[in-house]
């Protein structure tokens, strides 16, 4: 499939919400970094489960329970293949990427982080990749160091090498592959290779990268990876934790009860094998099954085509936005180093005010600190506006967005 307007218009027909009109105008959805819209194939997959074989999994032997179990586990196999993991046992279903990070912070962190140890993050992390480590560090009297970013949002890898050379107590590096606020793509493979020369594991927050870039955990050699189904055409309530099998086997469970047990006696319990050791209770069966269709949809298009389409849209949008003298853009200007995310401020219009104005034009954007207040402090702003693209966005929508910005400029007399 080619990244052309003709193909994009064909894709749009699969998304019912894109036919909506708001305030009498065609709906323009530019908040894909927050969550993506869902194609009919995903919606129908969930309806089919509830309509035809709704039952619990891993328990009963009657037909529809077997169907539900097989469909659920098929998704796990598809996720394994999608990120090129070695085994479906390395794929853990959680509620979201945030829970996946918390799982590792709790189960791995409390076994491996001790007083005086060092956890390395960066200034552009999402709160979900800061707060769990802060809590762990306070509990264990450990220390967190933040890799600084430059004015374009790129990491200082010399600083990382300095920490690794001069802190023999560094125990974990946890970084986003792509910033949710700036769209910057970091050289994660280079960082992992460097970390592993010091025997330091690396956790990759892939919430923004996995939906947009070809992801190969075997090639990356990352120790952990977290991402969410809802940012890649799938339902909400489904997160994925990838972990190397050897590491997962050595970790204690995060939640207890239900399907994570093998045997329970009065005095002790024997835990289930991977991946079920980390999947306590009845999971989000319907939405995991729905995610299967989202993966099929992305595979049919091809991740390379998705990436090329977003580069094309981002280039076009930045060119148009840069023509506005009141525009302040954030992030790397090199399109190969960024995803389809653009953070900006327009004159002295507060982002929330701008988002309200754009909503009158039926344009949905994000405004605020984007759960990245450490980054906002670095940029010396309280908030930014953000647009973000996916497979169904078009240059025509960008033109509508640019025209609406012009209306805001006139309204505020900038």
In whole angstroms, how far apart are CA 207 and each of 108, 174, 238, 251, 290?
Answer: 20, 13, 12, 23, 18
37 alpha carbon, distance to own chain's centre:
15
Beta bridge partners of residue 329, listed in sequence order: 344
The question of whether 371 is a catalytic residue gets the answer yes
158 alpha carbon, distance to own chain's centre:
26
CA distance 324 to 92: 46
Question: In 3D, which of 209, 224, 204, 203 has the Cα closest to residue 179?
Answer: 209
In whole angstroms, how far apart are CA 367 and each of 315, 349, 380?
Answer: 21, 11, 16
Burial degree of 142 (CB within 10 A; 0-12, 13-18, 19+)? buried
Provide CB contacts within 8 A for 74, sequence distance 6+: 292
Length, in residues, of the chain: 414
CA distance 75 to 81: 10
Helix (H) or strand (E) holding 346: strand 341-346
**DSSP-H helix ranges across 302-386:** 303-322, 351-360, 373-379
CA distance 77 to 93: 12
Q: What is the CA radius of gyration of the chain?
A: 22
DSSP 217-269: HHHHT-SEEEEEGGGTTS-SS-EEEEE-HHHHHHSPPSS-SGGGEEEE-SS-E
Q: With the CA atoms of 395, 396, 398 and 401 taken in that order, what torsion angle do they form, in degrees rounded to the nearest 10?
A: 180
Lookup result for tokens 């998304």: 15
Kindly report whether the peptide bond that precedes residue 167 is cis, defined as omega within 30 degrees of 0: no
Active-site residue (options: 80, 176, 222, 371): 371
Would you name the residues annotated as active-site residues? 371
């Amino acid at each position: 499939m080619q990244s052309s307007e003709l193909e994009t218009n064909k894709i749009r027909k699969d998304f019912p919400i894109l036919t909506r009109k708001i305030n009498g105008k065609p709906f323009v959805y530019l908040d894909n970094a927050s969550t993506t819209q869902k194609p009919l194939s995903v919606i129908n997959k969930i309806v089919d489960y509830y309509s035809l074989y709704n039952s619990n999994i891993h328990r009963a032997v009657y037909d529809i329970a077997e169907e539900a179990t097989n469909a659920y586990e098929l998704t796990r196999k598809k996720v394994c293949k999608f990120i090129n993991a070695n085994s479906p046992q390395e794929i853990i279903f959680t509620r979201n990427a945030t829970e996946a990070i918390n799982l590792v912070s709790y189960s791995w962190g409390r076994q491996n982080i001790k007083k005086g140890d060092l956890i390395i993050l960066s200034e552009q992390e999402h709160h979900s990749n800061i707060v769990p480590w802060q809590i762990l560090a306070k509990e264990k009297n450990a220390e967190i160091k933040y890799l600084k970013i430059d004015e374009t949002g790129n990491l200082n890898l010399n600083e990382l090498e300095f920490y690794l050379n001069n802190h023999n107590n560094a125990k974990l590096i946890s970084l986003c592959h792509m910033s949710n606020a700036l769209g910057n793509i970091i050289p994660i493979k280079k960082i992992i290779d460097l970390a592993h020369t010091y025997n330091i594991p690396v956790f990759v927050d892939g919430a923004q990268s996995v939906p947009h870039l070809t992801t190969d955990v075997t090639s990356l050699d990352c120790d952990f990876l977290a991402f969410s189904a809802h940012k890649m055409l799938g339902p909400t309530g489904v997160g994925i934790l990838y972990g190397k099998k050897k590491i997962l086997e050595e970790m204690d469970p995060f939640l207890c009860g239900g399907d994570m047990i093998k045997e329970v006696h009065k005095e002790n319990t024997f835990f289930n094998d991977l991946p079920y050791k980390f999947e306590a209770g009845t999971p989000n069966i319907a939405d995991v099954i729905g995610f299967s269709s989202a993966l099929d949809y992305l595979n049919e298009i091809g991740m390379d085509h998705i990436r090329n389409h977003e580069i094309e849209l981002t280039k076009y949008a930045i060119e148009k936005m840069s023509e506005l003298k009141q525009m302040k853009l954030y992030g790397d200007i090199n399109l190969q180093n960024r995803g389809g995310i653009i953070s900006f401020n327009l004159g002295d219009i507060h982002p929330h005010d701008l988002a309200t104005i754009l909503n009158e034009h039926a344009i949905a954007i994000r405004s605020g600190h984007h759960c990245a207040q450490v980054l906002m402090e670095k940029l010396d702003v309280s908030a930014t506006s953000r647009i973000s693209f996916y497979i169904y966005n078009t240059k025509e929508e960008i033109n509508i967005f640019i025209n609406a910005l012009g209306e805001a400029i006139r309204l505020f007399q900038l």
